[in-house]
A and B are shown apart, each in its own frame.
Chain A
Amino acid sequence: MDEVLRVENLHKRFGLLHVLRGIDLSVHKGETIVILGASGSGKSTLLRCLNFLEMPSEGRITIEGRLVGRETGTPGVMSYGTRELNALRARVGMVFQQFNLFPHMTVEGNVMIGPMKLRGMTEETARTLAHDNLRRVGILEKAREYPARLSGGQQQRVAIARALAMEPTMMLFDEATSALDPELVGEVLLSMRRLSEEGMTMLVVTHELGFAYNVADRVIFLEGGMVHEEGTPQEVLQNPKQERTREFLRSHTLFRLPDPAPEAAGHS
């Protein structure tokens, strides 16, 4: 199955607040998609709907060819079973802005708990798996430490390893570097970039436009709960068609286009 995720006409309302207003999205295996958008445009809500931390109000989500939930009488509205959602969340990794490591467990304990309790692994198998994934994000040497003794960047890489240990079909990152001191951002972005290059399917909400430019296969600009503009990083970041996208990019003072320089890319 090449298409890992398909989203059709996704809506999310919080009471009267209509946050997502009909999102369509198709993500193929191995793709890295960066989602941009101003604060409040619904980026987090979109990701949280994709692993059902928030329940979509309307719309169909298909993961690896399987439609999630059952149709109800009302068109577009689905009902979801608890077991189905728990099983699904185990297959969709999520990395949060605030890391959310379990402070009462060691680093390896954080990574082992899911595989042990949900995938029925023995402690030894889970430890091997945990170490493999900690190595993947370059933090194996901290396996026996407690999270409180790690820097923010290290904690976030552990959080990535924790999600990877569930061997997810795709990974969601919600501003994974926004809570980090500037000097720690790079190590986390590097881990994410490696992951992308290994062929992981990723949806990344970030304000790091350099990452979007260098790593994303596709960039999506959300505005008012809809996909306002979508395309390759070159299209969206260098030649945005929409005025709102241009405005957003201008307001991002941090955005320095890395090589190739904008002018050079303009010729190609």
Chain B
Amino acid sequence: MGHEWDFAFLLGQRDFILRGILGTFGLAITCVLAGMALGLVFAAARLSRFAALRLLGTCYVEFFRNIPVLVQILWCYFAIPIITGAQPGPFAAAATAVSLYAGAYMTEIFRSGIQSVEKGQWEAARAIGFGYLAQMRYVVLPQAMRSITPPLTNQVMEVVKTTAIASTIAYGEVLYSAKVLSDQEFRPIESYTAVGVFFIVVLALVSAASSLLERRLRRHG
């Protein structure tokens, strides 16, 4: 059956679409950065010499990794206001849920990356007089990045895709824009195709950036 493809109507909705794109970027960047921060902190906890911190790290990972992210988003949006009496906006709810979810995976990525660095590197840094944070920052993390980058890239791409789920609580990202436009203009094919193309382009860029970084990290023996 013949469908007449016509993307022209999208041009008339430039501002609306742009707002969706910015919404996706805003949420994705927030969640990637927050997820990485959570991942670093909890990875350090999981590798701590204190059993209580290790347990805390394990609980965090097991809890947030094993609940579907959609459930977490809905929980943040619908359950939190009942418990606390304060209604988070769709952005806050989605950002919290996706960050915690991504952070759980990133914890494991950072943990195994940090563990791949030889113990002697920590010791050499310690012997110079570096404290824990300096050992991590100047010596361990730069080396761990080599094994962290590939899985971290996958995870970042996963986060970017996951932001689409925020449309279920009416957060204005690209999928939400597409849904609205598709209903308005009766053009679901073009609308959702455009969303697909958008994600392919963005993720291809992320992937290319990561390859570049990987090559830089691999330069020295």
Contacts and interface: CB of A to CB of B under 8 A. Distances in A.
Interface extent on B, as a size class?
10 to 19
B129 interface: yes
Given A113-B138, A117-B134, A118-B130, A103 B221 contact: yes
Contacts of B131: 82-83, 86
Contacts of A94: 127
B123 interface: yes
B26 interface: no
A104 B124 contact: no
Contact of A100 (B124, B134, B138, B142): B124
A193 interface: no
Contacts of B125: 102
Interface in B198-221: 220-221
B19 interface: no
Contacts of B134: 117-118
Contacts of A96: 120, 123-124, 127
Interface in A152-187: 159, 162-163, 166
Contact of B127 (A51, A87, A98, A149): A51
Interface of B: 118, 120-121, 123-131, 134, 138-139, 142-143, 220-221
A102 B124 CA distance: 8
A53 B138 contact: no
Given A96-B120, A147-B221, A102 B127 contact: no
Interface string A85-100: 0111111011010101
Interface in A127-162: 146-149, 159, 162
A100 B123 contact: yes
Given A117-B138, A146-B220, A147-B221, A166 B124 contact: no
Nearest to A51: B127
Given A104-B220, A148-B221, A149-B221, A53 B143 contact: no
A69 interface: no
Contacts of B142: 104
- Is the contact region of chain A dominated by helix, strand, or loop, or is it mixed? helix
Contacts of B130: 86, 114, 117-118
A89 B220 contact: no
B129 A114 contact: yes
A166 B221 contact: no
Contacts of A89: 126-129
Interface residues of A, number: 31
B9 to A, nearest CB: 52
26 contacts: A51-B127, A53-B126, A89-B127, A89-B128, A89-B129, A93-B127, A94-B127, A96-B120, A96-B123, A98-B120, A100-B121, A101-B124, A102-B125, A102-B139, A102-B143, A103-B220, A103-B221, A104-B142, A104-B220, A113-B128, A117-B138, A146-B220, A159-B124, A163-B127, A163-B128, A166-B129
A101 B221 CA distance: 12
A191 B220 CA distance: 27
Contacts of A86: 129-131
Contacts of A101: 124
Given A102-B139, A117-B138, A146 B221 contact: yes
B128 A118 contact: yes
A82 B143 CA distance: 25
Given A94-B127, A147-B221, 7 more contacts: A86-B130, A86-B131, A102-B121, A102-B125, A118-B129, A118-B130, A148-B220
A107 to B, nearest CB: 11
A25 B5 CA distance: 88
Nearest to B145: A104
Contacts of A148: 220-221
Contacts of B139: 102
A89 B131 CA distance: 10
Contacts of B220: 103-104, 146, 148
A166 B221 CA distance: 26
Contact of B129 (A87, A103, A147): A87
Nearest to B121: A100
Contact of A90 (B120, B129, B138, B143): B129
Nearest to A90: B129
Contacts of B126: 53, 89
Contacts of A93: 127
